[in-house]
């Protein structure tokens, strides 16, 4: 609880605002009773330091436990879940989405391009060559994504989709990036009417403009959607899970288990 308060108040000072829109519990801390964490979150909410409580990287059973505890104790109930979801990483569909719908939580998808792998710009053999610093090479965070996605089957899955794009569109085929983002809607289980969304990344304003444009380009040809489905079937057995059992996946101390987000700095 003391750590939660310290993290939030430090973030508020750095943001120079009195409160944030969403305060996320980013990774489960199994060394601290969840009741203590939730009680502390409720106190911070009552003090007006954040508007909504969010969860990220929790298993569906943990989401159900947290929502039930919050309801029974009159504490603030989580309303949003941020999770890993893309055209070839779909484990959230099986049990997490039904859980979120039951408790009325919306879903924000991160890694819609699998850390950049679904851009099609990388080759499996690149791992054996000297690479510039990027999402998959250069530091500890790069190693995390490389361990998640840099598998031979993942590249075979991308090749399968690229082949389908050429067959369906010929010379006017959309880029792999565009196709992967378009696959998120309307071909996924995201529901905009329920407040679901996709978190887009970028390394430049031009890239952001391209990614936003891709989301407006409409449905894909059925053969391409089928190829994405086949790609998921090909790699589902080694696709990264959506939840974490402990904080060791980051190699960070427990003081890094929550974070804040603010769509507007409020005075």
Q: What is the pLDDT of residue 253?
A: 43
Q: What is the pLDDT of residue 228?
A: 99
For residues 227-255, average pLDDT: 77
For residues 56-76, average pLDDT: 98
Q: pTM for the whole thing? A: 0.89
More confident residue, 72 or 30: 72
Band of residue 141 on the pLDDT scale cut at 50, 70, 90 = confident
Task: Tell me what the pLDDT averaged over the chain comes to.
Answer: 89
Structure tokens given for 216 = 């407006």
Q: What is the pLDDT of residue 78?
A: 99
Report how far residue 240's alpha carbon sits from residue 97's, in angstroms, rounded to the nearest whole number: 17
Band of residue 133 on the pLDDT scale cut at 50, 70, 90 = low
Q: What is the pLDDT of residue 185?
A: 86
Structure tokens given for 235 = 């790699």
| Long-range CB contact pairs, 42-50, < 8 A, 24+ | 42/70, 42/73, 42/75, 42/76, 44/4, 44/5, 44/8, 45/76, 48/18, 48/19, 49/8, 49/9, 49/12, 49/18, 49/19, 49/20, 49/23, 50/8, 50/19, 50/20, 50/21, 50/22, 50/23, 50/260
Band of residue 245 on the pLDDT scale cut at 50, 70, 90 = low
* CB contact burial 21-33 (16+ within 10 A = b; e otherwise): bbbbbbbbbeeee
Assess contact for 225 and 187: CB atoms under 8 A: yes
Report how far residue 89's alpha carbon sits from residue 78's, in angstroms, rounded to the nearest whole number: 24
More confident residue, 136 or 216: 216
State yes or no: pLDDT of 142 exceeds 90: no
State yes or no: pLDDT of 107 exceeds 70: yes
Instruction: Give the residue ranges of DSSP H helices in 109-198.
Output: 140-149, 152-169, 176-182
- Residue-range domains of the chain with CATH: 1-85+242-267 (3.20.20.100), 115-189+203-240 (3.20.20.100)
pLDDT in tens, 172-216: 999 999 999 999 989 999 999 999 999 998 888 999 999 999 999
Q: What is the pLDDT of residue 217?
A: 94
More confident residue, 140 or 119: 119
């Amino acid at each position: 609880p003391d750590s939660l308060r310290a993290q939030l108040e430090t973030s508020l000072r750095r943001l120079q605002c009195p409160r944030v829109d969403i305060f996320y519990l980013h990774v489960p801390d199994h060394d601290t009773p969840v009741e203590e964490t939730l009680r502390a979150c409720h106190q911070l909410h009552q003090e007006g330091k954040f508007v909504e409580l969010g969860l990220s990287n929790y298993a569906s059973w943990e989401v159900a436990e947290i929502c039930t505890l919050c309801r029974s104790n009159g504490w603030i109930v989580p309303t949003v879940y941020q999770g890993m979801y893309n055209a070839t990483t779909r484990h959230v569909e099986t049990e997490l989405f039904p859980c979120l719908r039951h408790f009325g939580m919306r879903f924000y998808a991160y890694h819609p391009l699998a850390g950049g792998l679904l851009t099609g710009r990388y080759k499996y053999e690149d791992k054996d060559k000297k690479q510039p610093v990027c999402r998959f090479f250069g530091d500890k965070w790069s190693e995390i994504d490389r361990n998640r996605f840099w598998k031979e089957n993942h590249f075979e899955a991308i090749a399968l989709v690229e082949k389908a794009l050429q067959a369906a569109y010929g010379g006017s085929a959309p880029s792999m990036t565009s196709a992967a983002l378009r696959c998120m809607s309307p071909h996924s289980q995201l529901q905009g009417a329920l407040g679901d969304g996709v978190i887009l990344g970028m390394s430049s304003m031009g890239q952001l403009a391209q990614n936003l444009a891709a989301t407006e380009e409409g449905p894909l040809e059925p053969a391409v959607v089928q190829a994405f489905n086949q790609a998921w079937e090909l790699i589902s057995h080694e696709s990264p899970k959506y939840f974490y059992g402990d904080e060791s996946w980051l190699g960070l101390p427990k003081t890094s288990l929550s974070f804040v987000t603010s769509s507007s700095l409020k005075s």
